[in-house]
Amino acid sequence: MKCPFCEAKETRVIDSRPTEEGQAIRRRRECDNCKKRFTTYEKVEEMPFMVIKKDGSREAFDRNKVLNGILKACEKRPVSISQIEKIVDEIERGLNNMMEKEIESKVIGEVIMEHLRELDEVAYVRFASVYRQFTDVNTFIAEIEKLLTNGKEKDK
């Protein structure tokens, strides 16, 4: 592993341990040349899949797009970064487990909304307003009424 500080090729592993989810191994390394330490992660290479967009075009799945969309929806909400990262990990794992080479963007959007509905209702409505392209206040009200109805059904 090349040192990110001095670019020497000789580094050694000081410590290895699994991450919390067990999906990767975290390794602390030390450069034999400059003696600085850094962290690397080793994980199973997952088969990439393509996203079929609304217009029919295709692009490679980008985890950062999911992360950024959720971050925007959760802005100024009592939701921690670790909660968001956990949701993104769950979404990515679920999509990979579908074993499909191509997934429609609407499927990804619906999965994101399911997770946000459970996490924070305001973030859910924010995301839904952009994803479903709400055009007026009545659409917002209809979505909030659905949330309230589902909430009452869960309480029973």
Q: Which three-class secondary structure state does DSSP give residue 56?
A: coil
- pLDDT value of position 74: 96
Token readout for 113 is 């909304």
Measured between alpha carbons, how far is 118 from 121 in angstroms, rounded to an integer? 7
Q: How large a percentage of the chain has pLDDT more than 70? A: 96
Span 42-63, average pLDDT = 88
Average pLDDT of the chain is 89
What's the pTM value of the predicted model, to 2 decimals?
0.63
E-strand ranges in 44-128 read: 50-52, 58-60, 102-104
Span 57-71, average pLDDT = 95
pLDDT of 153 above 70: no
E-strand ranges in 9-143 read: 11-18, 24-31, 37-43, 50-52, 58-60, 102-104
- pLDDT value of position 156: 52
- pLDDT value of position 152: 56
Span 86-105, average pLDDT = 91
